Amino acid sequence: MTPPGAPPFVIHANLDCEARWAGGALPGRVASRVSHYAALLAALAPGDRDVEIWAPAAIDPARLIAHARWTPPRMRVGAPPRADLAWARDDAKAANDRRLALEVARTLGVALPGARVVDTLDELDAAIRALAGSPRWVAKAPWTTAGRDRCHGEGAPTEEQRTRIARLLERFGALIIEPWLERVSDVGVCATVDARGDVVAEPAHGLVTDARGTFLGIELAPPALADEEHAQLARAVRAVGAALARLRYAGPFAIDAFVYTADGERRLHPLCEINARYTFGWIARALHQRLGATRLGFSAPPPGATVLIAPAGDRVTAWVA
């Protein structure tokens, strides 16, 4: 435990960073959701320190469950006067822009066929027509998390979809459109990059998602990848680290990737997203060190799971197993 009189380890859990980079704010219910999840950042603090976490919104502290090797943090609202650790650097907007991920993927020659940035509805229509071999598509905002601020479609967009996309374009100025592919599995890699561009990567982990790609958890057991697929991921991590260093970003990051099928063949898209910040992959690894868990979940807790955030009517929960 922290020696008497020692200050707490302070974490700025600014999980609303993408919304602020986009010039807006999270809706109240979303801010409450992410603020509950922010309590898990305590796993990143030194094990012998009391932890204080500042999050975007107030939460019900009674839902944070203590265990033998897990003490819930003290939660505060807003930005702290000082922080020992932050979820994301305030100046990391460009590093987290999806257009950077597309640029790096193009440089590596691994961008999805037809993936492009669109600034207008006319450009969107042209991009969708160019995806003739993949009629399903997704349009994503440059800064979002957990499947928000995007639109899925198949073929020409409906009037409802065009209205939604027009609103997203008005808000963000640009969208990234990609073919929506039949995913086999989702994977991620956590890494750090220093000011020189040197990268240290952790082993790949699994990402648990639903049919629309919404994030549901982390599986630390090694994903079922071929040696060449691991090599593709490693090349992508190095390229991302170099790109982040050119932006003067140094610190934690993670990439998302996925295995899919096309024309009956298995393929890996080794660079779907760049997250230049701590991610729940990092938190899952820290919880593994503390609790020995290999799964971090945000769906209904399965039998035998260790619940860290008790479920309630808002369907917010977190557990490890």
Does residue 211 register a pLDDT over 80?
no
pLDDT of residue 2: 58
| Cα–Cα distance, 164 to 229 (Å, whole number) | 36
Q: Tell me the per-residue pLDDT of 292-305, one tens digit each, with 9 for 90 and over.
A: 999 999 999 999 99
The whole-number average pLDDT for the span 32-50 is: 95
The whole-number average pLDDT for the span 72-94 is: 97
CB atoms within 10 A of CB 308: 28
Contact 181, 113 (CB under 8 A): no
| Cα–Cα distance, 274 to 254 (Å, whole number) | 6
Does residue 3 register a pLDDT over 70?
no
| Residue type for position 90 | D
| Architecture (CATH level 2) of domain 116-179 | 2-Layer Sandwich (3.30)
Q: What is the DSSP letter of 79?
A: -
DSSP H or E stretch at residue 52: strand 51-55
Distance of CA 312 to the CA centre of its chain: 23
Residue corresponding to tokens 């998390």: 145
User: 144 pLDDT band (50/70/90 cuts)?
Assistant: confident
CATH number of 94-110+181-277: 3.30.470.20
**35 SS3 class:** helix
- Domain spans of the chain, in order of start: 9-88+281-320, 94-110+181-277, 116-179
The whole-number average pLDDT for the span 60-80 is: 96
pLDDT of residue 1: 52
pLDDT of residue 215: 84
Query: b/e per residue, 288-298, with b = 16+ CB within 10 A?
Result: beebebbbbbb
Indicate the average pLDDT of the chain: 93
